[in-house]
Structure 1
């Protein structure tokens, strides 16, 4: 408690209004906890004990929850902040209902508040009509035609990473150890910079140097000063009227991000209007395409995004388009290292391609590369879960009935307004009832004939939940998928991969969901 109250000491000494507000907030906090405990329809649902009153299971690793699903059923109770009752589910009927009815199930306000400190009102934060407007304007920039035009950027950066790793392997006749997540993190940063908003981070070429924009973004996103107070503000909006007490470094980083973002937006708008020196309206980066779509005569002024909303997509592109693809591709190399037969089979297919830079359609026509990408994204989804809060009371049918602590069997579950359900993407993608007894095994050959049951998984691609579904599905899934395929095509043709550390030392971390291991490359 002292950690939470510390930011308010000066204000409490000099501002009675703030003191009264704090007291009212604490009273409300106590009431909320007691009321939730006594009235939540989830209170008899079974689930593991809470490890923390303040954070609940937020810091627990749901990636190892498969045993809990076997013990409690396809839907069970977990604890959110302040010991709030929540659901964790892999029940497909419940998931389909939640993701389809996005007007009744929104992202939790606490998560949106924390995200908005970095992303402002980007597409990952907004809900309702605001979100629909943004998606309507942004969708053209993420279509197949537009992503196809970006593939030259993908190849240019992938080849640069290949050359960087080749230089390292050339120094030894037996190959070299490389931190795959480091190299892939740099290349995906370079790709999203150029393909996202025409900004060259030059991360692969600048050893030891960090671009001004990325350094600012890193500081802002990793700022953890007085984190308990920020969580309290996120969970209880009454505390948001008080200062957030961000560090000086955070404030400076936000100013830098705003300045560079405005420069990028002004440049894109100038080029689109044709008033710049070049008069160039053919820029291919996502921000330019977004500006072009937003300024189109087909969109009425009342339905266009504001400059602030367009600007908010710059950090959104960084969050959604950088580390997720780097993580997925790292796990792909990890899988190749463990399964040398798969690596040989994939390499033979890729080496059989005559071009060093095949088109998007040619990449998508490679059957084993496609199966390998699907299996990687199924087994190692970069975002393991997503949460939704009910905007009204709702009675939802369950595909898999559950038994509560009183022995009552439920074929339906009441979700009251304000209560949160967490969808376990990871558990759906590994569910033995859907994928068979080998669901936890890496086997690309399964995609030659997948089980009929997986057709029930809500999905925008590949019968997996990795990119989510519904109106909040990942808007950039085509971009991410082709980027990953280009990286694999370029690297697997050039190197042989082996695990650079003992397999027991490879860990999955919940926050970043990535391997901590390095890889060994042989060129």
Structure 2
């Protein structure tokens, strides 16, 4: 026997390989984070601690009733541009300086893009549509969609908005028959139905039929995601943000998102085939198919736009309409004033001109809902290249230096807190935290007297974002909102069953939704009475 020891072959199982992969990934992420922080302007902000090193401040912010207030407090403490802890010890740059925000918006899709993880998630959920696209691809897809969202196109679709509202009215009239005292109706599910049936008909010439009691696979998929998530489900979802491979495991909310994606893509195939057979179709889908025929957009991109329209057209409008009914229930005098204006405007439905009249209380109320309750609370992008963000006024850095611009290195995540900017006292005055529609028509103390004028975007709000990625469907959404609300207020009164002081919370869904605290899921039960005229 020789004295040479036998060589043992190392064998790695799935657990060991996973540990090696995770360790390597974490080390690489830490190295990249340190490199970026060393080169970027060192900003003030909340400290990175042991407790927030892995997930940053995301878990904390999602639990707060008003995350925007936290961002505003940090801006007051650390300056108009600051940084907060993010995933794996990284820092996210937060912008509340209007000059920086305007610069960001002007360079979005080219200079500021989705992070690789976010882009991969978007592709898996929605396909390579408008939300996913960047740069020239985004410009081309947006150009193909533009004809569907002109004022003329939306005016043609307005009867669909009214029709959906009247279908809800027919159902509610049945529930209220013989009940002049009214009944309790869970209004959020009905706003979902109105929004879904409307986008179905206006977007794809397809009637989902939820307002007439039909079952819909897409409505079911959306509602399932709205179910209450367990602690383990939420934790797994957060881990999937760090380890993308986990997104392929159908656990909890991941599984619900995968089912939603499957349902949307299946509907896309169906709508595409149906629309091809209808050459005169004036729906959004019909115009897209014509663009595809002219080689302006691929059939894959057309299918992806279906998912974009479903997410954007369904979720956001339903949320805004629900908040509108809540605020009217909280403010009975406001409800009376708005109803009186609608009833005195015309004997029938409001005309296109009345829906778009900026001096009306309906317009002021709509703007205040959009300002006070933006469905999307923030925009987050990654710097595609080194950049310098300009500032309105000099800023003190963490090093004690005074700078008039913030240098961000390629790969830095930059965030605009929309809910903060929309309700900031710096820009909207001392009553910024109050729901006050008259600010939009008050010549003495209206928005023209405050720094809100510095904010670009739709009506000096960031609700629809700004720049190259400003929401293409903003006029569609606003017109639908006003049309539906006008029908409901003409026919019903609304109250919170436990009074105007009822606590309204936030329920995490695809987007955060309002809910009456203590109710299941995102339920918003209101007492609905038939409007019988002034007593």
Question: Which TM-score band applies after superposition, normalised by the shorter structure?
Answer: 0.7 to 0.9
Does the C-alpha gap of structure 1 residues 481 and 415 become closer, same or farther in structure 2, counting only changes over 3 Å?
same
Corresponding position: 1:101 with 2:107: yes
What are the Cα deviations for residues 233-263 of structure 1, in whole angstroms up to 9, with x where unaligned? 44xxxxx6x9933468766665544333112
Corresponding position: 1:124 with 2:131: yes
Corresponding position: 1:287 with 2:292: no
1:278 matched residue in structure 2: none
Of residues 408, 415, 431, the one that matches 1:438 is 431
* Contact 2:124–2:261 (Cα < 8 Å) also in 1: no
Aligned length: 488
* Contact 1:79–1:86 (Cα < 8 Å) also in 2: yes
Structure 1 residue 110, shift from structure 2 partner: 2.3
Of stretches 97-106 and 221-230 in structure 1, the one that deviates more from structure 2 is 221-230
Does the C-alpha gap of structure 1 residues 17 and 516 become closer, same or farther in structure 2, counting only changes over 3 Å?
closer
Secondary structure of 1:86 counterpart: strand
Does the C-alpha gap of structure 1 residues 190 and 148 become closer, same or farther in structure 2, counting only changes over 3 Å?
same
Corresponding position: 1:232 with 2:242: yes
Of stretches 393-402 and 211-220 in structure 1, the one that deviates more from structure 2 is 211-220
Corresponding position: 1:317 with 2:309: yes
Whole-angstrom distance in 2 between the partners of 1:34 and 1:245: 31
1:72 matched residue in structure 2: 78
Whole-angstrom distance in 2 between the partners of 1:376 and 1:221: 22
Secondary structure of 1:412 counterpart: strand
1:486 matched residue in structure 2: 483
2:493 matched residue in structure 1: 496
* Contact 2:389–2:406 (Cα < 8 Å) also in 1: yes
1:63 matched residue in structure 2: 68
* Contact 2:40–2:408 (Cα < 8 Å) also in 1: yes
Secondary structure of 1:516 counterpart: strand
| Matching of residues 413-432 of structure 1 within 5 Å | 413-432=406-425
Does the C-alpha gap of structure 1 residues 243 and 358 become closer, same or farther in structure 2, counting only changes over 3 Å?
closer
Secondary structure of 2:403 counterpart: strand
What are the Cα deviations for residues 299-352 of structure 1, in whole angstroms up to 9, with x where unaligned? xx3xx2111110011111111011111111111122212222221111111001
Does the C-alpha gap of structure 1 residues 76 and 47 become closer, same or farther in structure 2, counting only changes over 3 Å?
farther
Structure 1 residue 513, shift from structure 2 partner: 3.2
**5+ long unaligned stretches in structure 1:** 1-10, 235-239, 273-280
What are the Cα deviations for residues 411-468 of structure 1, in whole angstroms up to 9, with x where unaligned? 3211111101110111221222322211222222211233253332111x22211111
* Contact 2:387–2:409 (Cα < 8 Å) also in 1: yes
Of stretches 170-179 and 263-272 in structure 1, the one that deviates more from structure 2 is 170-179
Does the C-alpha gap of structure 1 residues 307 and 12 become closer, same or farther in structure 2, counting only changes over 3 Å?
farther
Structure 1 residue 29, shift from structure 2 partner: 3.3
* Contact 1:90–1:424 (Cα < 8 Å) also in 2: yes
Corresponding position: 1:54 with 2:54: yes
| Matching of residues 180-329 of structure 1 within 5 Å | 180-206=187-213, 210-216=215-221, 226-228=236-238, 230-234=240-244, 244-246=248-250, 254-272=261-279, 281=280, 283-296=281-294, 301=295, 304-329=296-321
Secondary structure of 1:497 counterpart: strand
Of stretches 478-487 and 245-254 in structure 1, the one that deviates more from structure 2 is 245-254
Secondary structure of 2:324 counterpart: helix
Secondary structure of 2:513 counterpart: coil
Of residues 392, 395, 419, the one that matches 1:399 is 392
TM-score by length of 2: 0.83
* Contact 1:98–1:388 (Cα < 8 Å) also in 2: no
Aligned alpha-carbon RMSD (Å): 2.9
Whole-angstrom distance in 1 between the partners of 2:218 and 2:396: 51
Whole-angstrom distance in 2 between the partners of 1:337 and 1:180: 12
| Matching of residues 327-366 of structure 1 within 5 Å | 327-365=319-357
Structure 1 residue 265, shift from structure 2 partner: 0.6
Whole-angstrom distance in 2 between the partners of 1:431 and 1:243: 36
Structure 1 residue 231, shift from structure 2 partner: 1.6
Does the C-alpha gap of structure 1 residues 252 and 161 become closer, same or farther in structure 2, counting only changes over 3 Å?
closer
Structure 1 residue 190, shift from structure 2 partner: 1.2
Of stretches 447-456 and 387-396 in structure 1, the one that deviates more from structure 2 is 447-456
2:453 matched residue in structure 1: 455
2:3 matched residue in structure 1: none
Structure 1 residue 372, shift from structure 2 partner: 1.0
Of residues 353, 367, 374, the one that matches 1:374 is 367
Whole-angstrom distance in 2 between the partners of 1:202 and 1:142: 24
TM-score by length of 1: 0.85
* Contact 2:68–2:418 (Cα < 8 Å) also in 1: no
1:169 matched residue in structure 2: 176
Structure 1 residue 388, shift from structure 2 partner: 1.8
Does the C-alpha gap of structure 1 residues 171 and 411 become closer, same or farther in structure 2, counting only changes over 3 Å?
farther
